[in-house]
Amino acid sequence: MIALDEIDRALIRALSEDLGANAGALGRALGLSQPACWRRIKRLREAGVFRGARLDLDAQALGFGVTVFLGVKLATKGRVSLEDFERAVSAIPEVQTVEHVLGLYDYRLRVVARDISDFERVLRRRIMTLPGVGNLDANVLLSEERRPGPI
Amino acid sequence: MLDDVDRRILRQYQAAPELAASDLAERAGVTPSTLTRRLALMRQKGVLRGVRGVIDWRVLGYEVEVSLRVTLDKTQARAFDDFIAAAREVPEVLEIQTFLGQVDVRLSVIARDMGHYQQLYRERLLTLPHIADIEALMHVARVKGQETLPL
């Protein structure tokens, strides 16, 4: 585990908001020289503190009015290969995230669609036809808030 | 509204948010100056809100991730507001989502280990106001997580 001081934490917070932030400007805000700030960012990046970058887009403005979370229970555990299911579900463009979970469901999917009838199309044609799908539980997203986390 | 060029740029940008501008322009089939102008316009319109660094919490020592699905006591008029305001006070809560469906609110929570989770659950989460029912999904693996839009 990587050791972090207060400046590292402030940098992680800033980069989680804007990964492309300029090292000079960030450094000035934190009382660091540009090279010192750059070295810290490099160390954090090399330690793998960020698993990637995400474009924050206004889905609504881009015509995606509906987000649905689906809980999926596999019907025939043991007979269906998890790899086959995971490969097939990951290939669906409207499926944004696939998480393998333990509990009431086996997988949790985040699905975007233009509207409810578009969602119905994705559900019927693409998701219900996946190998091994059993029970489905759908919840339509109304609001979403991402928090900075314990940093 | 966006045209095909904007969509092409966003599609390529989503797939590789850290690509150098010149490479991104080439992949999107536009000149670097067009790319700069289009991205600036999309930022101005609020379609593109930014490029966020996605923190790998495991690298920071958080091994446990749980999705808590909460049903609220809707006889309380302020159930949603009170619950969400209190959930914001828990640093380990990464996401707060509200739904139309069986589940009212979902919290994404991280913890250092099971002991830490147990403590959080008892002391900070079960004590949140107006909970009627709560159920947990333990995160096992992230199969797909880029959260891209099918542009």
Supply the CATH number for residue B9's domain. 1.10.10
Are B80 and B126 in contact by the 8 Å Cβ rule? The answer is no
- Is the Cβ–Cβ distance between A56 and B50 less than 8 Å? yes
Give the mean pLDDT of chain B.
95
Query: Which chain A residue has the Cα nearest residue B18?
Result: A53
* Whether B41 and B89 share a structural domain: no
Give the distance from residue A68's alpha carbon to the nearest chain B alpha carbon, in angstroms: 9
Secondary structure (H, E, C), A20-33: CCCHHHHHHHHCCC
Strand, coil or helix: what is A101?
strand
Instruction: Specify whether B133 is located in the same domain as B101.
Output: yes
Burial B57-69 (b: 16+ CB within 10 A, else e): beebebebbbbbb
Contact B17 A55 (CB under 8 A): yes
ipTM: 0.90
Q: What is the pTM of this model?
A: 0.92
Q: How confident is the model at residue B136 (pLDDT cuts 50, 70, 90)?
A: very high
Domain that holds residue B128: 64-138
Nearest CA-CA distance, residue A22 and chain B, Å:
13
Report the domain count for chain B. Answer: 2
Ranges assigned E (strand) in A4-147 = 50-57, 66-74, 95-102, 107-113, 133-146
The segments of chain A whose pLDDT lies below 70 read 77-78
Query: pLDDT of B46-70, one tens digit each?
Result: 999 999 999 999 999 999 999 999 9
Structural domains of chain A sorted by starting position, each given as residue range(s) with its CATH number in brackets: 6-46 (1.10.10), 66-140 (3.30.70.920)
